[in-house]
C-alpha cells in the first residue's frame, strides 16, 4: 500500500489530495469534488502530460516551428519525447497541424506542428 | 623604433579628450583601453553634470580645469554634436546656521570666475523648483551649470580623434611599463607597444600606472557612488540640478534631470578596495534615497528603472594630478580625476595635449577635422524629416527599442562608427537602445541579431560588455 | 489623410479579437497595426498548452490559439500592417505611425482600440542590489530567445518570482537541459496558477521558496550566483537568512505592467492600481472613441478572458464609429473595497442595456468569503466563493435588473 500527496489542479481551490493505491484499489481523500477524485486517481495510476517544444526550420520566414504531442504522453516519457523533438529538423513550409514525428518515443502519440511557417 | 609618438592609457572621457586634442597635431597617436569600448570605467557611471565651477578651491587644478572645461563643453557639444543642456544648479542650504558655508561657496565661485551666481531665498527656490523641500532656507543659484551625456561626449571625442588619425586598441591592458631610450614600452595584454610619450588617463588605475614609472608614489582611493534612475515620465520633477551644501564626503546627493530626460538621484560615497567593485547595495540605495529626500521629498521611486554604481578615483592629495611626472620624462599624468572630472575632461585634453605637443615639437595639422556629426536621433525629427531619412535608409523606419524609439538604423550606425559598438552595452551607450523603462526586455533579441550580423560573428559570441559577458550559454 | 473607421493598435490576441468582432458588428473598414513581423503577439512565443478552454472548449498551445484568430481576421480580409509602430496618438484620434516602407505617416481613425499589451518589470525596477552582469533576463525575454530564436540563455538557473511565465520557463529550460535550482517568491503565496506550480515545478522537483527574494547578484561579467534571503511580513530581507546559489542565469518573473505610453500621449486617465486606462462598461477610456482591451487594460491570467473582453471593445468601437459620439448619460462609479484591489470596468453607464461583466482581483488568499456588490448601502448582489487569490482574476456578472437597482455609485468588496 502506497499513499501519495498531490495538489489538485482542477480548479483554483488546489485541494491537497492523498491518493492511496492498494493493489487495484485506488482511494482519493482530501478532494472537494468528483473532478478531484478523477484527477487524483489518474495522476497516480497513469499520469500524462502534453509536451511542447520547438524544431528548427530551414528556409522559413521564421527560424523555428513550435510543436506539441497529440494526444498527451505518459509522464515518465517526457524526456524521451524531448530527445526526439530536439533531434528533429525541418524544411519550410510547415503547416500547423502537420505530423512531424509519428509515434514519438513509442508512446503512440504524434508530435505535430502548432504554427505555420511559410517559406521565406 | 617607436610604434607611436603618444600612447594614451585609458579611453574614458579624459583619455578620449586628450586623444582628440592631440589629434590636432602631426603625431602618431594610440589609445589603449583594457575594456572593449570607450567610456567603460568611471566615465560610464557618474552624475553627468557640467559643473559651473563654484566648488573647487581657487588656484587648484580642479578649479582651473572645471572653469575651462565647462566653457569647452558648451562649444564642443555643438561642434561634436553631443547632448548637453545648460539647466542651472541650485545648492540648497537647510539651516540658517549653515549660511556662512553657502556664502563661502558663492565667494569661491566668484573667485573662480563663475558667472551669474546668486544667493536666493528658500521661497525663491521653491518658486523655481516647486518639488524642493520646505526645509530649504536658501540656495546658491548657478545658472551656468549644465547636464551632459557622458557616453555621448566620450564617444564624440573618440570618433573625432579617430577621424583625425588616432588608433584605438581595445581589450589591451597595460600590465607593466618600461623605460627605453627616448621613450617607453608598454607591456600590454596585446603585446609590447613602444611610444615616445605616454599620457596616463587610467582612472581608478591611474596611480598604479603612475607608480610603474615614478618614485613619487600616488595613492588612489576608489570611491563607489550609487545612483538610482527614474523613468522619463517623471524626469521633469526638477528642471535644474539640485545639490546640497557640500559636507565631508563630497557634494552630497543630487537630484537632477538627465540630458535625456530621466530623473537621476545619487550618489553616495563609500571607499572601496577595488575600483571595479561597482556593485549596488541595498544599504547604498536606501542611503541615496534618504539623503535625496532632504532636498526633494517626493521622488517617485516607484518609477525607478535602474540603479547603478560608479567608481571615482580619489587621490589622497585631493587635487587633479596633471602634467609631466617629474622623474619620468615624457610621461604625463591625468590622475586622481574625480568630480568635476567629466566637466574638466576637455580642458584636461587641451592642457595635456598642449604640453605633449610642445615637448614633441609637433606642428598642428592643417587638415584637422574639428567637427563631427552624431548619430541621428530619428524619433526626434519631424514626420517629414523622418520620412525623408527613412526613404534614404529604410533601417531608420524599423523601431527596435520601443521605449526609447530607437531604430535599427541607429543601432547599425552605433556599430559602424569608429570606434564603434562591439557589445550590447556599446550600442546602449551610443544610441540608448535598451535604456528605457523595459530595460531591453523587448529589444534584446533584435539588437543581438543586428550586432552579430554586422560584426560577422555567431550570436553566441555576442556579449554584454566584452569577453566573459556572453549573453547566451550553449 | 488616410482614414479608417477603426484602427486597432496591436495585433496580438486582444487586437485580433477586437478587429474580428468590430467587423462582425458591421464595420468593414478596420485596420490592425502590429509592430512585430507577424500577427499573434506574445502568443507566438507561448508554445505551451493550456489556452482556449473557455473560448474553444479545447486545450490549445499559444501559437494555435493565435492562428485561430489570425484565420478569422484573414477570412474577413481585415487589413493589417506589420513591422509598423505607432509613434503618436492625439485626442482627436490622429495617429502617427512609422515603418520602413512608408516612413512616418499620419492617419485618422473614427475609433481606436488600444491593444498594446504589457511589458515585464525589469531588474532595475525591482532594485535588486549587486553587479550588472550578463545573464539576467526577464522570463518573457528568455522565452522569446528560446522559443522564437532557439537560443539557450543559461545552464544553471535561478528564477525570482513565481508568475506564470517564470513557472513555464522553469519547465521549458529544464526540458532543454538546463538545471533550474530554485524559484524564489517574495510573497507568501505564488503569483502563478496552481496548475503551473504542479506541472512546471513539482513534476521536475524544482523547489519553490515562498517569502524569499534575491538580495544580491554576484558576477561582474556573467552571473556567477545569487544570494537568496527570507523576507519577513514586511517583505524586507531577514538578516542571517542569506543563502548562496551558484548559477549563470537569473530569470525574473516579477509582474507585468500595461504598456500605456500611447494612452498617456492621448491624455487618457489611467488607474493607479491596474496601470491601464479607466474604462466604462463599453471599455471606452476617458478619451472619446478610444477603447482598450487585453493586457494594456489590465493584466490577465488567461487569454480566453482577453478575447472575450476584446470582442466587447471591438463591438463598441464599431458602434461608436457608426454612430459617432453620443451624448453621454450618467455613470455609476464602481469602487473596490475590503480586499478587492480593483475592478474593470471602473464605471458603468446608467443606460447600459446589457449585462455587465465585472472583473477584479483580491489582495490576498481568501477562503469561503462572499463578494458583495452594494449601492447606497443596499445589497445588489452577493456571491460566495470557495477560494480567491491574487493570482486568479475573478469575475462577477451584473444583470440589467441588478443595475436598475443601483443608485449613485456601487461598491464591490469581500464579506464573511
Residue B298 · residue B122 · CB < 8 Å: no
Flag if C119 and B437 touch (Cβ within 8 Å): yes
User: What pLDDT sits at residue C325?
Assistant: 67
**A12, C203: Cβ pair inside 8 Å?**
no
A86 to chain C nearest CA, in Å?
Answer: 8
Q: Does A120 touch chain C (CB under 8 A)?
A: no
Same domain, A21 and A72: no
Quote the CA–CA distance of C39 and C13 in Å, as a whole number. Answer: 9
Residue numbers in B near C103 (CB within 8 A): 383, 386-388, 390-391, 397
Catalogue the long-range contacts made by B448-451 (C-beta closer than 8 Å, 24 or more residues apart).
B448/B424, B449/C149, B450/B400, B450/B408, B450/B411, B450/B412, B450/B415, B451/B411, B451/B415, B451/B421, B451/B423, B451/B424, B451/B427
The three cell numbers of residue B278 are 561597482
Whether chain C has a CB inside 8 Å of the CB on A115: the answer is yes
Say what the pLDDT of residue B360 is: 97
For residue C408, pLDDT beyond 90: no
- Judged by a CB distance cut-off of 8 A, whether residue A13 touches chain C is yes
Shared-domain flag, residues A17 and A34: yes
pLDDT at B251: 58
What one-character-per-residue DSSP string does B17-81 give? HHHHHHTTBS--EEEE-SSSSSS-SGGGSS--EE--S-SSPTTSHHHHHHHHHHHHHHHHHHHTT
Chains B and A touch (3+ CB pairs under 8 A): no
pLDDT at B250: 53
Write the residue in A14, A78, A82 that is nearest to C194 by C-beta. A14
- Interface-testing mutation among C61, C172, C203, with chain A (most A C-beta atoms within 10 A): C61
- Residues of chain C contacting residue B390, judged by C-beta atoms under 8 Å apart: 98, 100, 103-104
Report domain extents, chain B: 379-461
Task: Assess if residue A120 is contained within a domain.
Answer: no
Percent of chain A scoring above 90 in pLDDT: 80
Residue B452: the pLDDT is: 98
> Could you tell me if A35 and A56 lie in one domain?
no
B458 CB near a chain C CB, below 8 Å? no
Same domain, A33 and A76: no
Q: Which of B116, B64, B7, B21 is nearest to B343 (CA)?
A: B64
SS3 assignment, position B289: helix
In chain C, positions 328-347, which contact chain B (CB-CB < 8 Å)?
Answer: none
Probe site for chain C from B45, B236, B310, B441 (most C CB atoms < 10 A):
B441
What radius of gyration do chain A's Cα atoms show?
19
Shared domain for A65 and A24, answered yes or no, is no
The yes-or-no verdict on residue C194 having pLDDT over 90 is: no
pLDDT digits 0-9 by tens, C30-69: 999 999 999 999 999 999 999 998 899 999 999 999 999 9
**Tens digits of per-residue pLDDT, C109-143?**
999 999 999 999 998 888 899 999 999 999 999 99
pLDDT tens per residue across span C18-31? 999 999 999 999 99
Which of B308, B398, B399 shows the shortest C-beta gap to C132?
Answer: B308
For chain B, helix, strand, coil in percent to 5 are 35, 25, 40
Selection from C368, C385, C380 nearest residue C412 by Cα: C380
Flag the least confident range among B77-91, C182-196, C213-227: C182-196
Beta carbons of B397 and C215 less than 8 Å apart: no
The three cell numbers of residue B319 are 587635487
Q: Which chains touch A (3 or more CB pairs under 8 A)?
A: C
Q: What is the ipTM of this complex?
A: 0.94
List chain C residues with CB under 8 Å of B473.
135, 152-155, 248-249
Which member of B304, B437, B441 has the closest CB to residue C127?
A: B304
Residue C336: predicted pLDDT: 97
Interface residue A62 vs chain C (CB under 8 A): yes
B442 touches chain C (CB under 8 A): yes
Any idea which fold B379-461 has? Arc Repressor Mutant, subunit A (1.10.10)
Looking at the structure, tell me whether residues A10 and A36 fall in a common domain.
yes
Q: How far is CA C48 from the centre of its chain?
A: 17
Using alpha carbons, select from C150, C141, C95, C152 the residue that is nearest to residue C119.
Answer: C141
Contacts of C175 in chain A (CB under 8 A): 51, 53, 78-79, 82
Quick one: A74 and A38 in the same domain? no
Q: Work out whether strand C94-99 and strand C103-114 pair parallel, antiparallel, or are unpaired.
A: antiparallel
CA gap B333, B9 in Å, rounded: 10
User: Would you call C197 helix, strand, or coil by DSSP?
Assistant: helix
Nearest to C49 among A50, A61, A96 (CB): A50
Nearest to C133 among B280, B442, B469 (CB): B469
Cα–Cα distance for residue pair C45/B232, rounded to 1 Å: 29
**Whether C387 and A115 lie within 8 Å, measured CB to CB:** no
Check A49 against C199: CB less than 8 A apart. yes
Spatial separation of the C-alpha atoms in residues C174 and C146, rounded to whole Å: 12
In chain C, residues with a C-beta closer than 8 Å to the C-beta of A79 are 175
Distance CA C413, CA B22 (A): 72
A53 neighbourhood in chain C, CB within 8 Å: 47, 175-176
B437 neighbors B235 (Cβ within 8 angstroms): no
Residue B6: strand, helix, or coil? strand
Distance CA(C222)–CA(B458), nearest Å, equals 18
When scoring C42, C45, C47 by the number of chain A Cβ atoms within 10 A, the one with the most, hence best to mutate, is C47
* Mean pLDDT score across all residues of chain A: 93
Question: For B67, phi and psi rounded to 5 degrees?
Answer: -60, -50
Domain that holds residue A36: 2-46
The DSSP annotation for B110-132 comes to HHHT-TT-EEEEHHHHHHH-TTS
Residue A41 forms part of a structural domain: yes
Contacting subunits of C (3+ beta carbon pairs below 8 A): A, B
% of chain C with per-residue pLDDT over 90: 86
Query: Which residues in chain C have their CB less than 8 angstroms from residue A90's CB?
Result: none
Cβ contact A9–C38 (<8 Å) = no
Best residue of C42, C134, C236 to probe chain B, by most B CBs closer than 10 Å: C134
C-alpha cell read off for C15: 487586437
Candidate from A15-24, C14-23, C68-77 with smallest mean pLDDT = A15-24
CATH number at residue A75: 3.10.530.10
Nearest-CA distance from B196 to chain C in Å? 34
Q: Is C1 helix (H, G, I), strand (E, B) or coil?
A: coil
Contacts of B386 in chain C (CB under 8 A): 98, 103-104
Question: Looking at the complex, does the CB of residue C246 fall below 8 Å from at least one CB of chain B?
Answer: no
What domains can you pick out in chain C, each with its CATH number? 1-120+256-326 (3.50.50.60), 122-254 (3.50.50.60), 329-416 (2.60.40)
B187 belongs to the catalytic site: no
- Residue B256 cell numbers, joined: 537632477
Q: Which residues of C touch A96 (CB under 8 A)?
A: 63-64, 67
A69 and A40 in a single domain? The answer is no
**List of chain C residues whose C-beta atoms are within 8 Å of the C-beta of residue A61:** 37-38
Q: Which of B51, B210, B260, B314 is catalytic?
A: B51
Of A12, A68, A82, the CB nearest to C49: A68
CB contact under 8 A, B229 and C153: no
Assess A111–C contact: CB distance below 8 Å, yes or no: no
Helix segments in C267-330, DSSP class H:
303-323
How far apart, in whole angstroms, are the C-alpha atoms of residue A84 and residue C3? 51
Average pLDDT for chain C:
94
Q: Which of C146, C148, C176 sits opposite A62 (nearest CB)?
A: C148
Over residues C314-318, mean pLDDT: 97
Q: Do residues A61 and A84 share a domain?
A: yes
Which secondary structure element, helix H or strand E, spans residue C182, and what is its range? strand C179-185
Q: What residues of C are in contact with residue B437 (Cβ under 8 Å)? A: 119, 122, 125
pLDDT tens digits for range B199-249:
999 999 999 999 999 999 999 989 899 999 999 999 999 999 999 997 654
Same-domain status, A78 and A64: yes
What is the reported pLDDT for B36?
A: 97
Q: What pLDDT sits at residue C328?
A: 67
Q: Is residue A57 part of a domain?
A: yes
Size of interface B-C (CB pairs under 8 A): 140
The list of chain B residues with pLDDT below 70 reads 247-251
Q: Do A29 and A73 share a domain, yes or no?
A: no
Nearest CA in chain B to C137: B441
What's the pLDDT score for residue C326? 67
Residue C99 has pLDDT above 70, yes or no: yes
Q: Record the cell numbers describing residue B218, joined without a space.
A: 600616488
B interface test, pick of C9, C84, C104 with most B CB neighbours within 10 Å = C104
Cβ neighbours of residue C365 under 8 Å, at least 6 residues apart?
A: C189, C387, C388, C389, C390
Using an 8 Å CB-CB cutoff, list chain C residues near A63: 148-150
State pTM to two decimals.
0.95
Burial of A70 (0-12, 13-18, 19+ CB in 10 A): middle
Domains: count for chain A: 2
- The neighbouring-strand residues paired with A108 are none
- Domain shared by A74 and A25, yes or no: no
More confident residue, C171 or C325: C171
Omega of the bond prior to A93 within 30 degrees of 0, cis?
yes
pLDDT in tens, A34-57: 989 999 999 999 999 999 999 999
Neighbours of chain B (3+ CB pairs under 8 A): C
Beta bridge partners of B307: B228
Query: Does a structural domain hold residue A119?
Result: no
The answer to whether residue C375 scores a pLDDT higher than 60 is: yes
Cα separation values, B18 from B23, B103, B445, Å: 9, 35, 36
Amino acid at each position: 500500500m502506497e499513499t501519495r500527496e498531490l495538489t489538485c489542479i482542477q480548479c483554483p481551490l488546489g485541494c491537497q489530495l492523498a491518493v492511496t493505491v492498494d493493489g487495484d484499489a485506488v482511494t482519493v481523500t482530501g478532494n472537494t469534488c468528483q473532478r478531484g477524485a478523477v484527477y487524483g486517481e489518474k495522476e497516480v495510476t497513469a499520469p500524462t502530460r502534453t509536451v511542447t517544444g520547438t524544431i528548427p526550420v530551414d528556409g522559413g520566414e521564421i527560424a523555428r516551428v513550435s510543436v506539441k504531442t497529440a494526444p498527451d504522453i505518459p509522464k515518465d516519457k517526457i524526456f524521451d519525447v524531448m530527445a526526439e523533438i530536439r533531434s528533429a529538423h525541418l524544411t519550410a513550409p510547415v503547416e500547423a497541424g502537420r505530423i512531424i514525428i509519428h509515434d514519438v518515443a513509442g508512446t503512440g502519440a504524434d508530435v505535430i506542428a502548432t504554427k505555420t511557417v511559410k517559406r521565406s | 623604433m617607436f610604434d607611436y609618438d603618444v600612447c594614451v592609457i585609458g579611453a574614458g572621457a579624459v583619455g578620449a579628450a586628450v586623444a582628440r586634442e592631440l589629434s590636432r597635431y602631426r603625431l602618431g597617436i594610440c589609445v589603449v583601453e583594457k575594456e572593449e569600448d570607450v567610456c567603460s570605467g568611471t566615465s560610464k557611471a557618474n552624475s553627468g553634470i557640467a559643473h559651473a565651477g563654484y566648488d573647487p578651491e581657487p588656484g587648484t587644478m580642479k578649479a582651473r580645469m572645471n572653469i575651462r572645461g565647462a566653457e569647452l563643453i558648451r562649444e564642443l557639444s555643438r561642434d561634436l554634436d553631443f547632448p548637453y543642456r545648460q539647466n542651472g544648479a541650485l545648492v540648497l542650504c537647510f539651516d540658517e546656521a549653515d549660511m556662512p558655508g553657502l556664502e563661502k561657496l558663492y565667494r569661491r565661485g566668484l573667485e573662480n570666475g563663475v558667472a551669474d551666481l546668486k544667493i536666493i531665498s528658500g521661497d525663491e527656490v521653491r518658486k523655481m523648483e516647486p518639488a524642493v523641500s520646505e526645509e530649504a532656507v536658501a540656495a546658491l543659484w548657478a545658472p551656468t551649470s549644465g547636464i551632459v551625456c557622458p557616453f555621448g561626449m566620450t564617444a564624440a571625442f573618440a570618433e573625432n580623434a579617430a577621424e583625425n588619425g588616432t588608433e584605438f586598441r581595445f581589450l589591451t591592458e597595460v600590465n607593466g611599463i618600461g623605460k627605453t631610450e627616448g621613450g617607453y614600452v608598454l607591456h600590454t595584454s596585446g603585446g609590447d607597444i613602444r611610444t615616445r610619450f605616454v599620457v596616463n588617463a587610467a582612472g581608478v588605475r591611474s596611480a598604479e600606472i603612475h607608480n610603474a614609472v615614478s618614485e613619487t608614489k600616488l595613492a588612489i582611493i576608489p570611491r563607489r557612488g550609487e545612483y538610482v534612475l527614474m523613468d522619463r515620465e517623471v524626469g521633469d520633477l526638477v528642471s535644474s540640478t539640485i545639490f546640497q551644501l557640500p559636507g565631508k564626503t563630497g557634494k552630497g546627493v543630487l537630484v537632477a534631470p538627465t540630458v535625456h530626460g530621466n530623473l537621476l538621484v545619487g550618489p553616495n560615497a563609500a571607499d572601496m578596495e577595488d575600483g571595479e567593485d561597482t556593485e549596488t547595495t541595498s544599504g547604498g540605495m536606501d542611503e541615496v534615497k534618504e539623503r535625496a529626500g532632504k532636498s526633494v521629498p517626493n521622488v517617485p521611486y516607484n518609477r525607478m528603472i535602474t540603479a547603478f554604481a560608479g567608481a571615482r578615483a580619489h587621490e589622497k592629495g585631493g587635487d587633479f594630478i596633471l602634467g609631466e611626472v617629474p622623474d619620468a620624462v615624457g610621461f604625463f599624468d591625468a590622475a586622481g580625476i574625480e568630480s568635476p572630472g567629466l566637466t574638466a575632461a576637455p580642458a584636461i585634453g587641451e592642457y595635456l595635449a598642449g604640453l605633449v605637443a610642445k615637448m614633441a615639437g609637433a606642428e598642428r595639422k592643417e587638415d584637422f577635422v574639428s567637427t563631427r556629426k552624431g548619430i541621428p536621433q530619428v524619433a526626434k525629427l519631424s514626420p517629414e524629416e523622418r520620412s525623408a531619412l527613412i526613404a534614404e535608409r529604410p533601417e531608420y523606419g524599423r523601431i527596435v527599442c520601443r521605449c526609447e524609439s530607437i531604430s535599427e538604423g541607429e543601432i547599425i550606425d552605433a556599430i559602424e562608427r569608429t570606434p564603434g559598438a562591439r557589445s550590447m552595452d556599446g550600442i546602449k551607450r551610443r544610441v540608448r537602445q535598451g535604456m528605457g523603462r523595459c530595460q531591453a526586455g523587448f529589444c534584446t533579441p533584435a539588437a543581438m541579431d543586428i550586432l552579430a550580423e554586422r560584426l560577422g560573428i555567431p550570436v553566441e559570441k555576442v556579449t554584454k560588455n566584452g569577453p566573459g559577458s556572453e549573453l547566451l550559454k550553449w | 489623410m488616410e482614414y479608417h473607421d477603426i484602427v486597432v493598435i496591436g495585433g496580438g490576441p486582444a487586437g485580433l479579437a477586437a478587429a474580428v468582432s468590430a467587423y462582425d458588428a458591421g464595420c468593414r473598414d478596420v485596420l490592425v497595426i502590429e509592430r512585430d513581423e507577424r500577427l499573434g503577439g506574445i502568443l507566438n512565443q507561448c508554445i505551451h498548452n493550456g489556452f482556449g478552454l473557455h473560448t474553444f472548449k479545447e486545450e490549445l498551445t499559444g501559437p494555435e490559439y493565435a492562428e485561430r484568430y489570425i484565420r478569422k481576421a484573414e477570412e474577413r480580409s481585415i487589413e493589417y500592417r506589420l513591422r509598423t509602430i505607432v509613434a503618436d496618438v492625439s485626442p482627436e484620434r490622429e495617429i502617427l505611425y512609422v515603418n520602413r516602407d512608408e516612413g512616418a505617416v499620419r492617419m485618422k481613425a473614427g475609433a481606436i482600440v488600444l491593444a498594446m499589451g504589457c511589458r515585464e518589470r525589469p531588474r532595475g525596477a525591482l532594485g535588486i542590489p549587486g553587479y550588472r552582469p550578463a545573464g539576467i533576463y526577464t522570463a518573457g525575454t528568455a522565452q522569446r530567445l528560446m522559443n522564437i530564436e532557439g537560443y539557450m540563455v543559461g545552464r544553471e538557473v535561478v528564477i525570482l518570482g513565481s508568475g506564470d511565465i517564470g513557472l513555464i520557463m522553469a519547465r521549458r529550460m529544464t526540458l532543454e537541459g538546463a538545471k533550474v535550482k530554485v524559484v524564489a517568491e517574495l510573497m507568501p503565496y505564488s503569483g502563478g496558477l496552481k496548475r503551473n506550480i504542479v506541472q512546471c515545478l513539482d513534476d521536475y522537483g524544482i523547489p519553490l521558496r515562498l517569502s524569499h527574494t534575491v538580495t544580491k547578484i554576484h558576477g561582474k561579467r556573467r552571473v556567477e550566483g545569487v544570494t537568496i534571503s527570507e523576507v519577513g511580513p514586511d517583505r524586507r530581507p531577514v538578516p542571517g537568512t542569506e543563502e548562496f546559489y551558484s548559477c549563470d542565469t537569473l530569470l525574473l518573473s516579477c509582474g507585468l505592467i500595461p504598456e500605456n505610453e500611447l494612452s498617456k500621449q492621448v491624455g487618457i486617465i489611467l488607474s493607479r492600481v491596474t496601470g491601464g486606462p479607466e474604462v466604462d462598461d463599453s471599455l471606452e477610456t476617458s478619451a472619446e472613441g478610444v477603447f482598450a482591451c487585453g493586457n494594456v487594460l489590465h493584466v490577465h491570467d488567461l487569454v480566453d478572458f482577453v478575447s472575450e473582453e476584446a470582442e466587447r471593445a471591438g463591438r463598441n468601437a464599431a458602434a461608436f464609429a457608426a454612430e459617432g459620439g453620443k451624448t453621454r448619460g450618467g455613470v455609476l462609479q464602481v469602487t473596490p473595497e475590503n480586499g478587492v484591489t480593483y475592478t474593470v470596468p471602473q464605471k458603468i453607464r446608467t443606460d447600459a442595456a446589457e449585462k455587465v461583466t465585472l472583473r477584479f482581483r483580491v489582495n490576498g488568499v481568501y477562503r469561503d468569503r462572499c463578494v458583495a456588490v452594494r449601492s447606497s448601502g443596499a445589497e445588489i448582489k452577493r456571491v460566495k466563493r470557495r477560494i480567491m487569490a491574487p493570482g486568479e482574476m475573478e469575475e462577477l456578472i451584473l444583470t440589467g435588473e441588478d443595475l436598475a437597482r443601483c443608485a449613485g455609485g456601487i461598491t464591490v468588496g469581500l464579506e464573511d
